[in-house]
């Protein structure tokens, strides 16, 4: 069978913000896929199992098997999906808008999320974790708020949903989880609210995944 006819397989964890980015892209583009859950907490972290290291040597989710290749890194995955399944476009045609989309995506994916990732938090004492995560997210959100005041319309970059929005919503979810005060970030909060009204952001939400524990289901 041609690899183009095989359903993609997403290695996922319901609460992983990086995986949620990819789930939104798959939902927006109407791509059907199967999920293989990788529980980041259970058994000491199933991402550390040797068979999963074959899937993603970085021992992180997400990973997507698609078109006969195996991809990791959420932004690379989203850009591959956008190049091969262009509707709706998640990276604008216009070079300046595209640069804004990449700038905002990188700010979140390189400047905020990695600092509050599980692997980092596990290196800290239990009493230090919440404060550390809050300070990383708050610092990043101050920068993001300023940038979004310049670039946003209804969404992060003007009025079209883009890769930047796929990064924003899961990062706001993490901020809420870590009890970050969002009052200083009205633009972030407004865009998040507008995006959460869209079906693709809702169906892919951590509370609605096959591996979501019953007590966290919505
Ligand atoms: N840059 C990667 C980061 C992936 C990542 O940090 N994944 C987290 C979940 S959001 C993870 O698997 N963490 C497991 C760990 O820290 O052990 C991407 O964008 O895909």
Q: Given this model, what pLDDT does residue 5 score?
A: 78
> Order of strands, edge to edge, in the sheet holding 34-37?
34-37, 9-12, 63-66, 69-72
Q: Give distance in angstroms: CA of 1 to centre of ligand 1.
A: 32
CATH number of 7-88: 3.40.30.10
For the chain, the structural domain boundaries read: 7-88, 95-201
Cα gap 52→23, rounded to integer Å: 19
Residue whose Cα lies nearest atom 1 of ligand 1: it is 73
Element (H, E) at 140: helix 126-151
pLDDT the model gives residue 1: 64
Q: Where do we find the tokens 């994916």? A: 109
pLDDT at 2: 73
Residue 59 per-residue DSSP state: -
C-beta 118 within 6 A of ligand 1? yes
Distance CA 38, CA 60 (A): 9
Task: Compute the distance from residue 2 Cα to the ligand 1 centre, in Å.
Answer: 30
Centre of ligand 1 to C-alpha 197, Å, is: 26
CATH of domain 95-201: 1.20.1050.10
The predicted structure's pLDDT at residue 209: 98
Task: Report the residue among 19, 73, 113 best suited for mutation to probe ligand 1: largest number of ligand atoms under 8 A from its CB.
Answer: 113
For ligand 1, atom 9, which residue shows the shortest CA distance?
16
Please give the distance, rounded to the nearest whole angstrom, from the Cα atom of residue 62 to the centre of ligand 1.
7
Which residues in the chain land under pLDDT 70? 1, 4
Q: Is 152 in the pocket of ligand 1 (CB under 6 A)?
A: no
Q: Among 61, 107, 169, name the best residue to mutate to test ligand 1's pocket (greatest count of ligand atoms within 8 A of Cβ).
A: 61
Distance CA 141, CA 78 (A): 22
Task: Decide: helix, strand or coil at residue 124.
Answer: coil
The candidate with the shortest Cα–Cα distance to 18, out of 151, 200, 163, is: 163
Give pLDDT, residue 177: 97
Note whether 36 and 9 are within 8 A (CB).
yes
Q: Which residues contact 187 (CB under 8 A, 6 or more apart)?
A: 145, 148, 149, 152
pLDDT value of residue 4 = 67
Residue with tokens 């980015």: 21
Evaluate whether 7-88 and 95-201 have a shared fold. Answer: no
């Amino acid at each position: 069978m041609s690899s183009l006819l095989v359903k993609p397989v997403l290695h996922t964890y319901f609460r992983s913000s990086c995986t949620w980015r990819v789930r939104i892209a798959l939902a927006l583009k109407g791509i059907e896929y199967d999920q293989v859950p990788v529980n980041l907490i259970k058994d000491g972290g199933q991402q550390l199992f040797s068979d999963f290291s074959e899937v993603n040597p970085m021992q992180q989710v997400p990973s997507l098997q698609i078109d006969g290749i195996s991809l990791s890194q959420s932004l690379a995955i989203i850009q591959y999906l956008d190049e091969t399944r262009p509707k709706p476009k998640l990276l604008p045609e216009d070079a300046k808008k595209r640069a804004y989309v990449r700038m905002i995506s990188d700010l979140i994916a390189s400047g905020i999320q990695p600092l509050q990732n599980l692997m980092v938090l596990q290196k800290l004492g239990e009493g230090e974790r919440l404060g550390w995560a809050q300070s990383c997210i708050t610092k990043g959100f101050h920068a993001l708020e300023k940038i979004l005041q310049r670039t946003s319309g209804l969404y992060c970059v003007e009025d079209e949903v883009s890769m930047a929005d796929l990064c924003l919503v899961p990062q706001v979810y993490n901020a809420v989880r870590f009890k970050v005060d969002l009052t200083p970030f009205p633009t972030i909060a407004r865009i998040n609210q507008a995006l959460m009204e869209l079906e693709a952001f809702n169906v892919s939400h951590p509370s609605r995944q096959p591996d979501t524990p019953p007590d966290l289901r919505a």
